[in-house]
Structure 1
Amino acid sequence: MEKEFGYMLKQLREKKGFSINQLAERAGISNSQISRMENGVRGIPKPPTLKKLAEALDVPYAELMNAAGYLESDNSVATHANETLPEWATSKDKRDFKKMLEEDGELMFDGIPLDDDDKQRIKDVLTGLFWEAKQMNKRKKKNDVPPDSPPHS
């Protein structure tokens, strides 16, 4: 996955005519970090880094989230506005996510209602953060050892 994402990132950067240094400056991240991403040695960046890259490259944030594997299609689940889900998500995870999206009160910032573009940006960020947190929780539970377990030799 890291190599595929890195290849796509490099293609996007070159298509825009940016050097690694130019992209680094525009995104506010180090050139070595971009180089490691493109070469598949850094791993998949976190959603906030993807957001910076999307803005610097002038591409949809959801496109980078999808390419990084945070969002994947799952047509077997009816979700709000064709949202996409990671393949590891359980039915409970999907239900939690759907519930989060459907709690659709008026979104405001500083007392001013947000327009549809701002709402979508917030949903994109929340989507990435939601699935990242779920995945970290799953890894944490898998690595937890009960306190009364005998030590491994």
Structure 2
Amino acid sequence: MEQEFGVYLKQLREAQGLTINQLAAAAGISGSQISRIENGLRGVPKPATLRKIADATGVSYEELMDHAGYLQEQGLPPAESAPEWATSKDKRDFRKMLEDDGELMFDGIPLDKEDKQRIKDVLTGLFWEAKQMNKRKKPKI
């Protein structure tokens, strides 16, 4: 998967006429990191890094997550997997809540759009990292 994503990123970068350094500067990451990703030496980037690359290239975050293998390997659980006692409010998608324009607060402080995006990026990264770690664990016999 690392090699495939690296090839994809290189093709994307070149199609947009960007050098490694131009993409790195636009994404706020190092040129060596871009180079290692493209050459398959670094592995698949974390979701937070993919968000930066998406913003820099104008490619959707979901498309990059898909090419990186995060969305292909891990399907979301069906709604029926929620416990019986869960109300419809309990089943709300936290991502949608962060994307809504309604007011959200943390510790009594209202969150602006930038705060919500940061929280969403961090939670997305942690969620998919945990999914990958759980997938690698060998079942106990």
Q: TM-score w.r.t. structure 2 length? A: 0.66
Q: Which runs of 5 or more structure 2 residues have no equivalent in the other structure? A: 83-90
Residue 40 of structure 2 corresponds to which residue in structure 1? Answer: 40
Residue 134 of structure 1 corresponds to which residue in structure 2? Answer: 131
- The within-5 A match list for 1:42-57 is 42-57=42-57
Aligned length: 123
- Offset from partner CA, 1:18-55 (integer Å, 9 cap, x none): 10011111111111110010111110000000000000
Equivalent of residue 93 in structure 2, options 82, 86, 101: 101
Q: Which runs of 5 or more structure 1 residues have no equivalent in the other structure? A: 73-84, 146-153
Letter in 2 for 1:95: S
- The within-5 A match list for 1:86-125 is 86=74, 95=81, 99=91, 101=93, 107-109=102-104, 111=110, 125=121
Percent identity reads 55
Using a 3 Å threshold, how does the CA distance of structure 1 residues 138 and 42 change in structure 2: closer, same or farther?
same
- Offset from partner CA, 1:53-100 (integer Å, 9 cap, x none): 00011110000000000102xxxxxxxxxxxx616x7x69x936xx46
Q: Note the C-alpha offset of 1:2.
A: 0.9
Using a 3 Å threshold, how does the CA distance of structure 1 residues 62 and 20 change in structure 2: closer, same or farther?
same
Q: Which has the higher contact order (CA 8 A, sep 6+)?
A: 2
Q: TM-score w.r.t. structure 1 length? A: 0.62
Residue 88 of structure 2 corresponds to which residue in structure 1? Answer: none
